[in-house]
Structure formats: structure tokens, C-alpha cells
Structure 1
């Protein structure tokens, strides 16, 4: 059953159901877009899991990125006693999220890399894979019906920073046993060849240190990319620079990396902002968050001159060691433009070889399919075009067309060794968090916000004697978000007064009919004469 992560990138959540047991894989969140104004995060709708909460035996997490663990606090509020399993680094991130919500982390259970845990009728093996975060794992889930293999997010990096390669030998062993179903990530299926090793990024970044020896260097990267942070720390040590960590998530992940043994550096390399200000620029390195142009991030504030700890100037070289997540391009280039205005030199992926992906390219996807040799295949973790291309790739490697399915959110698939078919959908979709979860009225709330942002609003307030229709006070007009001058205000008052007076108050039962008349009068005036369509909110007070 798919609650997210198919037909979209983000919000990954899938469930396996066998008898009276449900195992959930990942609990990710998505990010808002222009269709969800004012929303903080988007999470999966888990109504089916809530309805069947007594069947949910566990949640297993492939890794600690937001699109795989970000919804966990919201899910556990509805499923509070469900145990959660993952590697140490992954659960360190999960625990932090729970604690920030005032929730207990007691439900979290660490599984070693390449370790196995028994959860009801499911035996789950966590297999080490390379990705852009420590603790990433593919999951081989042995069920009474057969083995279901989740690749998770991965790449085949043959020179990883920590020396831990994707465990190809173990994956091949599992493939030889016979895998019933493989669910494979599809993010980079459109990119031919092999992804670049993380180590090559370090080589490119070293040139930044060599050519900017007298300048202050500010490197922005994803806080969770501990392999990138490790290389940057190593370069700082090599070239005699102290490190200032900027951004709460950067500080937290760095501390977690040290605590879990995923980051290695001497703590005395770190300095605070006050110390950094007193040092020569050529002796300082800043590692910052904000690669996606997030408005509240450290880098965005630096670019606007609103970050009290760091003032960007002409002797700064700023490196964005990242690539834009689709939809964030405008925000990122706004930050870059502002940094240039401050006098800084800016380096970003479009111009320099300073980033690599954590997701497999075509040849790596082919290798995974050839290692696992699944009977059935479902592409996941991608928009529909990604899933379509990954499905075609699988068929080109010999998997029969009838054994490949492209699924969307809410789809459910029944399978055993003899059949593989879609069955009735389950309730699924998006839930929106705006401080609190918006709930059942979310669609209406978002529609109103979009209309307000496009067309503005007008409020009319009047006190009316309900027996006679006499207006005792008002109408007063308040307009926001569209062109509404004094002349229009007077016209609107006149039309509302006429509409209210024209009602037969012997037949009027309550003030809602007066509101409807006022709304209709305003709509007709603004639509017919001015071609304007604001939201109209009449407030009628009984006098």
C-alpha cells in the first residue's frame, strides 16, 4: 500500500500487510508549493493506518532524510505505541524530531548496519548502501509470502569517504535466494552512466582552499551530508583554518555525527562567531545551512545583511555545494544575487564541479536490478515520468511486462508467487501541517488562501433592524489585496444599502438572507463594472 513517494519525490511511506500485521516503511514529509500557501509541511494521510492501528506492528526507516523521517512525529501522535526501527544515525535524527515535539523517544530501537530485526511475521534486514547521509540502508523484508526488497535511496560509490561500500555481495546473495518483489528508487533514472563519487567533490573543494588562501570561505551544504562535512573539516585542518558552524541543523548534525562515530575531527577546530570575527579571513571557514534558499536559513540571512554573526563582504568566497531541488531555483538564485551585491565571489554547481548526487544513475539502477533479480518490480521514489522510465528499464533487463506495475498514492497491490495485481485502493493523500494539522477542511482552507492571494478580499459590516430592514449603522467597507478606491467604496455601500432595503422582511427568517443579498450585490458590481473577483465576507449584525 502506497501512502506517499510514488508519482512524487518526497513524502515516502509504504506499508506491507500480511494477515493481521502491517509493517510501515518510512514516514517522510513533503514540502509546500504555490498550491499550498501558508503550509509548513505536507505529510501522508494515514487514515487507513489509524483505522487499523491494532495491526501496525512497526515502522522501519531506511535513512534520516526529511522525505523519509520528517512525518514521524505526526504519525506517532496517531500511532503512539508503535515501535520504530532504524540505524543509529537515522534514529538520532528521529529522536531529535520527537524531542522537539515534546514526545518520548522510547519507541525507537537501533538496528546495526547489516543487522536483522524480527517484527511480527516480518524479518527485516538492514543492508548498508551508499547515499548522501550516514546510516542509509536497503531493506530485505522476509515475509511468509516471500522476500520484499526496498532499495531505499542509494548509489554505487566505489570510493566512499567512510570506506563503507554498498553491500553488493549481500544484495547478490539475497537475489540468489529469490526475491518476490523489488521496490526501487527512481530519482535519477533519466541520467545516463554512473553517478560521481563523493570523493571527487572533495578534490574540487580543495581547489577552493588553494585559490582563496587569503579570503574567508563560506561553504553551504546540506547539514545531513556528513560525508561532505567530513571532507570540508579535513580540508580546514589541512589548510590551517578554524571552523564556524552556522545554522541550528548544522550544529546538531555535526554533534550527532561525532557522537555516533560518523564524523571525525578535533573539537578544538571549532570556534564561535566572536572568535571568528577577530581572526584573519584566511584562517576562517564557515560551514552553513541554506543551500535551497530557505528564507530563515543562515545563508539567506547573510545574503540580506540580517545575520548578526557574519557580515558578508568583498573578501568572502561563498560556495553552494549542492544542487537545486526542483521548485527552489528562484529562491536559490535570489540568494546568489544578493551575495554578489554584497561583494562576495559565489561558486555554485552550474559553474563548478562542487556537488554530486546521492541517487543512482541508470547504470547503477541496472546493476541493482541485476543483483536482486526480482520476480516482480515496482518503481518508487519519483514523479510519474521517473517511474515510467524505471519500469521500461526493468523490462529491458528481462522482467516481463506483466510483472511490472506503476503505482500511485492510495494504490494497493496483492501478490504471491502466482499473482501480482492491483486491488481496491486504500484511503490516502496529503495532510497539511500549518502549526497543527489542518484536518478535514484543508482543501477549503487552501482554496481560500489561494483566492485571497490572487483576488484579495472585501468585508462589509452593517447593523440591520431585522423587522424593517432599516440599516442602523454602516455599511462599512474594508478591502485588502486589490484596487479599491474611495469611489468604489461609495458605490459598494450604495449597492449594499439598495440590496438590503429591497428584501421583504415579512418573509426574511434570519440574517443569513441579508448576508446573501449583500454578497450578491457586491459581486455583481465588482464583476460587471470592474472585472474584479475578491472574496466577499458580509458581516450583518441584528439591531
Structure 2
């Protein structure tokens, strides 16, 4: 579809409209809005973590603006599981309407409740559901289906509407030997397929990966080797919500006589929630507090830390930079990164790895050992699901564009007509009526940036300015001129940051600026803005020709 906005037609009665507000084209900020007969149902509301070309940005939210004037029509927000890319933006949505019903599994809503407490959002409408349960939300009859993922209690959702049916998988895989015994319910998928699935919205993250995703328990031998060969302190970093992975670490720690310390606020919070609800089995006398770590020999401790994606303020990054207040790494310590790389985070992660290696640590990661498996279905599993469900229409979701294309090709290979396989991007307007899904328009679902407490006030222009500041530097020029006598009184005073701190290098261009200003004054130019442009052009040409750089230039002319 063209990137240009195309206004969708008015929605006819008993037609279902689906608008992805995030997650199609990115690995993150997953969210979809479904509308029928004046009512909206939202599925997921996650964040996207910024990349290096988003300087100063903390989080990126889905395209709320597309539904900002329709929030009173929302009958509920279904949350498929508790990962940040599916629940992380909920606090920002609730700031716009506090009483949106939140529907999800017990663990998902428990993790969300702790997050909302941090945002001082209480008295929220939580509705806990289980797999196999049905819940009617206005025009939407929702049935929830168990799926296996890298976090417990994940759900797919099947929607029955006047326009037809929709099966949304959420994130899932077909692990046949899950650690918690909870399989993706393929019997339910088959039953729903027999009933008829008009639109199948399918996780695309691993659609390019052939075969089947490796079982979670298959990393146990590699994990065991790391514990067996580590003679000093062992630091394991993982996603703060990966309960299955932390369970494996706890079990290995007990076998090797090590105490476990959680480091990082989100890790401490999430593991407490998981343990309190029984999803994490913590052996007695295994956990110790960080403040007590000095009471144990290095070979008696395993530290479970946040920072698997190289986040600058995470516990692991602070260790790598020797900035952690308690933990000082020494040569011979082992660091295990038991996680995958989210696209865009590669440079940040490798910077942390290099910092750890420089300190003498032995770093084990997915690149040199099988210490992580994906939580998403690979191509073989997706083919299996298409053959079971036999959907009339398919809309790949959750992935970069190449993932969506690969997923669509799998659907076509199983017999779904190409014209009924919709490769859409964020903001696409898809209408389902009489068993046929079509793209009918496009709405704006641009990024919403969060910078500290500021939400949505950061533009692409300001991000460009930040990138220039970070990569090219900053030069300021101050000059005071007398417009009556047409001469320069003071300056030019030139200062730089992030470009070249030796200000003596600007002597040649200072002479050029003086000459250019005096010539402009002699020609009758007295407007400060025009004089500032003279400075900008003069120093800009000099910097470009001398240094091949394009710093941000901020001239200031004071007239007297």
C-alpha cells in the first residue's frame, strides 16, 4: 500500500474494522483496534524500545492518536501476555481514559498491576480470564485459548462478531515439552477452525526461521556447563519477565550450591509476583539480599540481573562500566547473557559485552553457546497452524516487514489465496464483511515518543537535532554589532561542544565571520536574524571544507 494516507470509507453496519496501531513493521509496540457497530475492542498495548537513532527517547508508544477521539467507545483491552512489548504502554493509555476494562490472565494482570502502581494508577477495572473461558464485551464475544510462549499464562483470543470470526494468536510457539506443562491448545485451534476462522492474525516474528523452534528445556545442558565450569562469581542476565529461564537458573543454582541474588528493580518486582502466584518455584534458602552478598564466597553466588539488551542504566551495563554501587567484576567472573537480541539493540549489547571482556570476565551468549531459545513459532509451526485452522483470510502481525512477507508466503503455501493474505503495515484499515477481508484505507499511526515525563511532544525534527548534536557536535557564535556605526563591537566569540574543544582552531574562521558581518552591515543589513544567517553560512562552509562535519550551529547576534 502507498505510504500516503487514504481516508477509509464510513464503516457499514455489521462490518468489522481492524486497524493495527503498532507492531506491524517493528518488533514491539504491539496493539490493534477492532471496531464493529460503534464499539471498539483493543488487543495489546505495548512499547517499542528506542534504537540509537532515537537519542534521549525512553519509550515509543503505539499510535493512540488514531483512536484518541473514540476512547469512550472502547469496551475493553485484551492483553495476550505480560511482556513489555504487549503491556508496557497501558499506563499511557489509561492516562487518557482511566476506566478501560483490562482483560488478561492472572499473571499478566498481576504484572500490569505492579506497573500501574509505579505510575500511580489505581482503582483500575481488572478482569482475570482463563484459557477456555468466554467473555462478552459489547459486540465482541471473546474466547481465550492457551498458548505457549516465553512467559507463563499467555493467551490467544478468538472473537465472534456479527461480521465473522477472528483468531489472534498473540505471541506463541508449539513447544511440545514446556517447562510448565502448558501446551499451545491445538485442539482448540482445530475446533475453532471447524467452526470457521474468517480472519487469522498470526505472530510473524520467526516466520523466516525454518523448521520448529527449539524446546525451552534443550538449553539445560549448556546452562549446566556454565555453572559447572564457573569457579568464581556467575552473573546471569535475562529478560525480567522470562519466568521459565529464571526457574532454570534457580534449579541449577541449587544443584551447584549457589545462592541467588536478584539485581534490577524490574527483575525483583516480576519474580516476586511470579513466585507469589506460584508460577515460579523458589527452593527454600536459595534467595539472598544484595546487601548480604559479601557474606558468601564468589563461587557460592549467582547474580540474576537485568540488562540483556544493553540498556544504559541497567545493572549489567553499570557493572560493565564499573559504576555499580555493590558489584565489582574481577577477572575470572562469568557473565551469561541468556537472551536474544532484539533488532536494533545489537550495538548496545556488544558494547556491554566488550566492556565485560575488558574487565576480564568470561562472557557466554547466544553467539557462542546455546543459552537461549526463542519464544516464537518458526515456519514449520506456522504451517502446522495454517493447516489446522484453514482460515479464510490471513493478516500476519508482530514483526518487521520481512517477517510479515515470510508469514504471508507460508499462508499461501498452505492454500490461502494470495488476495486473501493481507500484508499490512501500521495504520492500515482492514474491513471484514461477508467472509472477505480487504484493505480499504490508511490512517496515521506515527510514533509517540516518551522522554522522561514528556509524552508526544518530541518530533522527528527534534530527534534529527539530537542526532546531529550527538554525532556532529555543537558550535555557538556570539557577536555584538552597532547597526548605526555599521561595525562589530564584540566577538565573534566561538564555543564548541562535541566537535573540538580546542577553541584556538576557530581563529581563521573568526576573521572570516568578522569580515562577512562588516560587509553585510555596510550593505545595510541590520536585522539580527539575517546577520545570524551570515554567521551560520560562513562558519558552516568553513567547518564542512576543513573537517567534513555538519555540527549544529547556533549563532546569536545582539544589536545595539
Normalising to structure 1: TM-score of the pair? Answer: 0.93
2:535 corresponds to which of 505, 510, 518 = 518
Aligned to 1:324: 341
1:420 matched to 2:434: no
Q: Give the aligned CA root-mean-square deviation in angstroms.
A: 2.4
Report matched runs for 1:169-318 at 5 Å. Answer: 169-212=187-230, 215-266=232-283, 268-318=285-335
Q: Deviations over 1:8-33 (max 9, x none)?
A: 21111111111211111111111212
Comparing 234-243 with 49-58, which one deviates more in the overlay? 234-243
Query: Aligned equivalents of 2:259 and 2:334: distance in 1?
Result: 16
Gaps of at least 5 residues in structure 2 are 1-18
Q: Deviations over 1:387-433 (max 9, x none)?
A: 11111110110111111110011111111124321112112111111
Query: Aligned equivalents of 2:488 and 2:131: distance in 1?
Result: 75
3-state SS of the aligned residue for 1:251? helix
Aligned to 1:389: 406
Report matched runs for 1:442-521 at 5 Å. Answer: 442-483=459-500, 488-503=505-520, 510-521=527-538
Q: How many residues align?
A: 542
Aligned to 1:357: 374
3-state SS of the aligned residue for 1:106? coil
Comparing 487-496 with 226-235, which one deviates more in the overlay? 487-496
Aligned to 1:80: 98
3-state SS of the aligned residue for 1:118? strand
Q: CA deviation at 1:220?
A: 1.9
Q: CA deviation at 1:505?
A: 8.5
Q: CA deviation at 1:328?
A: 2.7
Change (3 A) 1:511 1:209: closer
3-state SS of the aligned residue for 2:392? strand
3-state SS of the aligned residue for 1:78? coil
1:431 corresponds to which of 441, 448, 460 = 448
Change (3 A) 1:479 1:50: same
1:108 matched to 2:129: no
Query: Aligned equivalents of 2:256 and 2:211: distance in 1?
Result: 34
2:162 corresponds to which of 118, 134, 144 = 144
3-state SS of the aligned residue for 2:533? helix
3-state SS of the aligned residue for 1:374? coil
1:153 corresponds to which of 171, 174, 199 = 171
1:342 matched to 2:359: yes
Aligned to 1:406: 423
Comparing 457-466 with 67-76, which one deviates more in the overlay? 457-466
Query: Aligned equivalents of 2:351 and 2:471: distance in 1?
Result: 23
Comparing 203-212 with 367-376, which one deviates more in the overlay? 203-212
The 8 Å contact of residues 98 and 105 in structure 1, kept in 2 or not, is answered as no
Normalising to structure 2: TM-score of the pair? Answer: 0.90
The 8 Å contact of residues 63 and 86 in structure 1, kept in 2 or not, is answered as yes
Aligned to 1:168: 186
Comparing 85-94 with 146-155, which one deviates more in the overlay? 85-94
Aligned to 2:57: 39
Change (3 A) 1:521 1:258: same
Aligned to 1:333: 350
Q: CA deviation at 1:60?
A: 1.1
Aligned to 1:51: 69
Query: Aligned equivalents of 1:334 and 1:456: distance in 2?
Result: 22
1:22 corresponds to which of 40, 43, 46 = 40
Q: CA deviation at 1:468?
A: 4.4
Q: CA deviation at 1:467?
A: 4.3
Change (3 A) 1:315 1:448: closer
Gaps of at least 5 residues in structure 1 are none
Comparing 245-254 with 456-465, which one deviates more in the overlay? 456-465
The 8 Å contact of residues 42 and 430 in structure 1, kept in 2 or not, is answered as yes
